[in-house]
Amino acid sequence: MAEKFYVENLVASVGGRNDLFSLYSLVRECLQEGGFIIQSCNTNCETLRARMEKDSTLSTHGEQWEKGLGYSYSPLTKELFVPHTECDANASSKRSILSETAKVFDPLSLYLPVTIRSRILIRAMWKDSMGWDNIASPAIQSVWRELAGKLSRLGDLHFDRRTIVPELPGEMHIFCNASKDAYGMAVYIVQGGRSSLLFAKAKVAPMKDKTLPVLELMAVFLAFKCLPSILDNCEGFIPTNLCVATDAQIVLSWLLSQTMASNNIFARNRLRDVLMMKTELETRYGLQTFKYVNTPSNPADLITRGISLRRFRSCLDFWRVGPSWLGGGISQWPELDLPCLSVSRWPELRQIVLSLASRDVLLSCPLIVFHPSPVY
């Protein structure tokens, strides 16, 4: 219970009605022992809501939506969204634009394909060496005016709150991607033939320009940095498969061969870090796989360039659940030719790569299972 409190608010989700009643009773008893009176409660369980009303603990504000951790949530529709915010389209300095973009608080990054545009815009102002209170160029002001209106309407788009059923087996798929502007990843849970977006994260590209393959590697690095925290917070859920996917074949070849033909110290260190984190995850959770996904099927592609609100609406289902075949799990991953991963080009792969069918069908079956220890 102590881990579920955020300041004075308790936000919790459990697997069944009995657990929900037990949690409600426990919270009331513990708070009463300390002299605190529980109030303004709500739930999507009709039976418990009736009890809350009887106990005079049910919310009385009369609104359909409850607020928690930056989101508005409807116990009736079981949907959540970011509250509507008004961003000042007339902001014209780096300080004021940054202040306006911070009004949208989206800790799970559900709206990242749109909000990443504000970070890319701030990055552009930094690259122009703008002072904090200098007036931005007309081009930047024009981009901000258009974006401000879109950020103010993000709350029109709702997301299903429930993404994980703890008692069901499932898989976790992480899609990675990068562009010259940003790099990031999106995490999906697959259970019972259904896939759902769980979490996403992106960072703008460093001010010092890096090659696209290095940025793609940084996206994989970001995924592995986030994975321990994500897995630790998925209470009762241990994935039967943990898959990290990228659409960069050259990065996949680095990860499989565990080496790169480059003197780029930064890239070599990131590769070493990824391999170390992969080994730690294998020790804690068992088997992990790296897979290839083509760009049109990669939902992380939406977060690396930023898209308009109109396009976000049109591809919202793709963003919510991933590619159409994802619900079938790892066995339904499409077969693709991967010329950059040919054994003739990377002879060492013959010893460390095992496909699902046989060692002779590497190009037709891009499922990669890791067994050897990392080589540094």
pLDDT band at 283 (very low <50, low <70, confident <90, very high): confident
Question: 144 versus 259: which is more confidently predicted?
Answer: 144
CA geometry: angle 177, 187, 305, nearest 5 deg: 30
Nearest to 360 by CA among 333, 342, 340, 335: 342
According to the model, what pLDDT value does residue 85 have? 87
According to the model, what pLDDT value does residue 342 have? 54
pLDDT one-digit tens code per residue, 14-36: 777 888 888 888 888 888 888 88
Mark out the alpha helices in 156-264 (DSSP H runs).
212-233, 249-257
pLDDT at 279 over 70: yes
Q: Which domains does the chain have, with CATH numbers?
A: 2-62 (no CATH), 94-156 (no CATH), 167-337 (3.30.420.10)
Averaged confidence pLDDT in the chain: 84
Contact between residue 368 and residue 353 where contact means Cβ atoms under 8 Å apart: yes
In the sheet that holds 71-74, the strands lie side by side as 66-68, 71-74, 79-81, 159-160
Question: 49 versus 317: which is more confidently predicted?
Answer: 317
pLDDT one-digit tens code per residue, 178-208: 999 999 999 999 998 899 999 999 999 999 8
| pTM for the full predicted model | 0.85
pLDDT at 367 over 70: no
Contact between residue 151 and residue 114 where contact means Cβ atoms under 8 Å apart: yes
Question: 352 versus 157: which is more confidently predicted?
Answer: 157
Rounded Cα distance between 339 and 136, Å, is 46
pLDDT at 290 over 50: yes
Is 288 in a helix, a strand, or coil? strand
Would you give the DSSP letter of residue 74? E
Nearest to 55 by CA among 66, 40, 69, 44: 40
According to the model, what pLDDT value does residue 11 have? 80
Question: 6 versus 149: which is more confidently predicted?
Answer: 149
Most confident segment among 110-124, 257-271, 283-297, 341-355: 110-124
pLDDT one-digit tens code per residue, 43-92: 888 888 888 888 888 888 777 788 878 888 888 788 889 988 899 999 99
The predicted model gives 247-274 an average pLDDT of 90
Of all residues in the chain, the percent with pLDDT exceeding 70 is 89
Name the maximum alpha-carbon separation found in the chain: 73
